[in-house]
Structure formats: C-alpha cells, structure tokens
Amino acid sequence: MVDIAAVLSHFNININEANPAFSTGATWGSSEVTFIKDIISPVDGKKIAAVTMATSADYNRVADKATDAFKQWRTLPAPKRGEIVRQIGQALRENKDQLGKLVSYEMGKSLQEGWGEVQEMIDICDFAVGLSRQLYGNTMASERANHRMYDQYHPLGVVGIISAFNFPVAVWSWNAMLAWICGNVCIWKPSEKTPLTAIACQSIVQQVFAKNNIAEGVSCLIIGDRVIGEQMAADPRIALVSATGSTRMGKAVAVTVAQRLGKYLLELGGNNAVIISQDANMEIALVGAVFGAVGTAGQRCTTTRRLIIHQNIYEAFKQKLVSAYAQVRIGNPLDEHNHMGPLIDHDAVNAYLASIEACKAQGGKFIVEGGVLTGDDYASGCYVKPCIAEVENYFEIVQHETFAPILYLIKYDTIDEAIELQNAVPQGLSSSIITNNLREAEQFLSFAGSDCGIANVNIGTSGAEIGGAFGGEKETGGGRESGSDAWKAYMRRQTNTINYSADLPLAQGIKFDL
C-alpha cells in the first residue's frame, strides 16, 4: 500500500500543522482571523492534513502581487515562456508517481486515473510548448493602396482559475499552461475539498519559476471557500475567470463577471448519452458504456449517464451490462486491481441516495440496485454501488446531472428519435454513438445531429484528448479549454492597419478634402 506520509513529505506538505492558505512564492501571515480546515480522504475517512483558509485580505494581497507580476511576465518572448513551461512538464514527469498517488488518495479516483490525470498535465505542457511559437494572427488585404492590415493577439492580464474536485489538477493545467504561454499570470482557487494536490502542484511550479529567476506572482495559489470565489468573480483586476463546476455555480459566476463586463470561460455540468445502434460492435459498446459510467465513480463531467439503446438489441445488451456490473471491483483506489473508488464525501453519498429514491418515485425500474457499501474496507462511508435503472428520458431526475455512478437506460426505434432523445436535456457537453452504419454516424455528427460540444463515434463520452478543444453548449456553459484554438480565449484580439504611402486615402472611397 502507498505510504501517504512519504508522499506528503515529498511535496513539503505538513501533516501536523496547517498548510498556508496561499502562495506566490513566499508565505505571508494574515491580519484577519483565520479558519483551519481538516482535509479528509474519502478512501479511508482519515485526516490527511489541514489547511489555513484564505481571508479576503489574503486574496487582495495575492491579486496585487499577480497584477504586478504581469507587467514583467508579458515582456518575456512567448518562446521563452514556452521553455519555462517545458521545464514544468519535465518536473511533472519526475513527480508523476507521487503526484498521481496524492490525487488518488485525496480525491478517491483509481490510481490509474490519478496517474492519467498527471499525464494530462504533462501532455498539455507539451502542447503549450509548441503553441508558444504559433500564436498566429492573420494578414488581410486592404482596399486602400499601400496599406497593410493584420490582426494580432495580446495577453489579457490576470487569469483566475476556479477548479473542481473531480479533476483536481488537470483542468487547472489546461488553463494555466495556455494562459502562461499567452503571457498572462494566474490565480488558482482549487476546490476546498482537494487543496493538497494544488499545494503539491504549486510547489513543483514555484521551483521551476525560481530556477528561472521569474518574479513571484506569475503562479498564485489561494485556498478558500465560496466567498473567495465570489471575490475573484467580482474583481476587475481579474481579466478572465475560468470556472469549472456545477451549472448553478457557473450561472452565478457569469452574472457577476458580466456585471463588470469581464470575460469568463465556463465548463459546467454534463448529462452525457451514448446511442447504441443495432449495428453497433457490442464489445466496443459494452466497454465504453461501463467505463464511461463507473470511471471516477461517476464523478466526471463527461460521465456516461444515459444509454439510448435500439429496441432490437435492448434486452440482450441490458443483460450484458448486468453481467459486466457484477464484475466491477470497488475498493481502495490505491489498489490497482480495483476499478472504482469512493465518492468524494458524505454529501455526495446523500445526493446519490436521494437521486435513487427520486428515480424510483418517478417510475424508474432498477435492474442493478444501488446502495452504500459497509464493512472494514469501506470505513469512510463513501463507497457506493454503481446502479442501473430503466427510465424515460423526460423523468425530472434524468434531466439533472447527478455526480454519481447511476446509469439510465432508454429505448429508441429510429436514429432520428435517438438523436432527439440525446439532445432533449438542458446540458450539452459530451455525446457518442456506437455504430458501424456510416449514415448513422454522419447524421450524428451533422448539423442535425448531436448538439453537444463533443460528439464521438465508436468511443465513449469520456476520455477527451488534450489536442481537441474541450467544452460544451447550453447549460454546460459554452467555454472551450485545452487544444485546437482554445488559446484565443486567454488573449485580446487587436486589428492593425499600417499606411506606408505618402497620402491618407479613406476607406470606402470617401472624400474629405481640406
């Protein structure tokens, strides 16, 4: 079993004393009354360590420090910033084993997924390094003779990153690496449920910045509650707020930031479906469905929550699912033999139980029953059974996102009906069709197909690669992170015109003689 004390010591996380509320490369005290929060692992219910929660005064000091640091950081050429991000990627490679273990123990996802999350950080560093030499603008033809027009991109300033517990480090890195490449500085507010992995990442990053003589404030970490998040959203010093979390939280952030005409990037809830055609490869469909539904104990925004199955194969596929669920191994996520670990905390367990009861009350029929696991191996009280219910898509509970391993089965007859069912929820993050029918696949990807930001063929709803832009539509928020041209969200666009003639011709042939 993993020696967690050694892992914490590796990242200079103090087990016996409260860890600092924030860091910009130096530890400052607060003049206000502080609150100490114990961090409890859902794996075994034990206290890992404690953190000092930041105050409003702490936040203001951090924001001032970041604002000052931006003035210097933006002057460093983008390829030079890329070299520093390259070094961060190398440092993450060297710390992958220990950081992956900490992710697994603090959050509760399987060790393989913990290592995989750190690998995503390494991958986005590699992507960002290449991007540092490709921050291209366009050159346009001017209608005026001897004029040149082009557009270019400049950094925004301070980027605030509010991340969620389910991916405690990867989503921060999607934002931070691109923001740094673009010349911005970052203030990171991690989930207060998983602050220790954030402290570990900050330790790694700060060592790289210090080695390169980079001023404090380019990478800032602040650990606080909802009040700190609200302060960040309302702060005019924050040019862009990137927030990952529930739709409720995202709507609040959007309203607050919009009131000051700031920019926001939202990655919110998902209610993802896989359409399983009668022409599907059943093995692909089964693996994709089970991993999508039980991976990270159903606590991914891309978790598969609905299976829309053709009526001709519905009964046969249902039996395959029941058999597969009987083989899912639930237990300590640091044991690589287990497929599924715990939910994040008891509040999540209660939400899971309430959703099961609501589903039954609305007419859902459970073919694999849920429940909380008990016994010495499940002492934290956060381990639950993945369950499956036959439902109708219009059920109120099916229209909501429950962050838990509850899978809903729905029948369909025609591909048009399946796509309509897939789209008939408020969320629009990830979607998938499993089919060997080319016409079905193309229709699913067409303008008349999936209305989600991510649409896959013959893979599941989870497991996005960093090379593509990640994000969704409708109540998912409309933001895009990670690959493709998502970098443009962290920049301000400027159109430039240069007149190299001896005259001043006006656009559209206007004459203005003096």
Cα–Cα distance for residue pair 305/486, rounded to 1 Å: 27
Q: Catalytic site residue 267? A: yes
**Which one is catalytic: 113, 120, 267, 440?**
267
Per-residue H/E/C for 423-492 = HCCCEECEEEEECCCHHHHHHHHCCCCCCCCEEEECCCCCCCCCCCEECCEECCCCCCEECCCHHHHHEE
**Which one is catalytic: 301, 359, 382, 387?**
301
Q: Any idea what DSSP says for residue 396?
A: T
Expressed in angstroms, the distance from the first to the final Cα of the chain is 85
Q: Identify whether the C-beta of residue 442 lies closer than 8 Å to the C-beta of residue 419.
A: no
Strand blocks (E) in 173-262? 185-189, 219-222, 238-244
Q: Taking the alpha carbons of 205, 211, 212, 215 in that order, is the dihedral positive or negative?
A: positive
Residue 43, φ and ψ in degrees, nearest 5: -70, -45
Cα–Cα distance for residue pair 278/292, rounded to 1 Å: 20
What sections of 43-185 are H helices per DSSP? 56-73, 78-94, 96-107, 111-131, 170-181
Q: Catalytic site residue 387? A: no
Closest by Cα among 374, 295, 300 to 341: 295
Q: Which helix (H) or strand (E) holds 199?
A: helix 195-211
Cα–Cα distance for residue pair 149/132, rounded to 1 Å: 23
Catalytic site positions: 267, 301
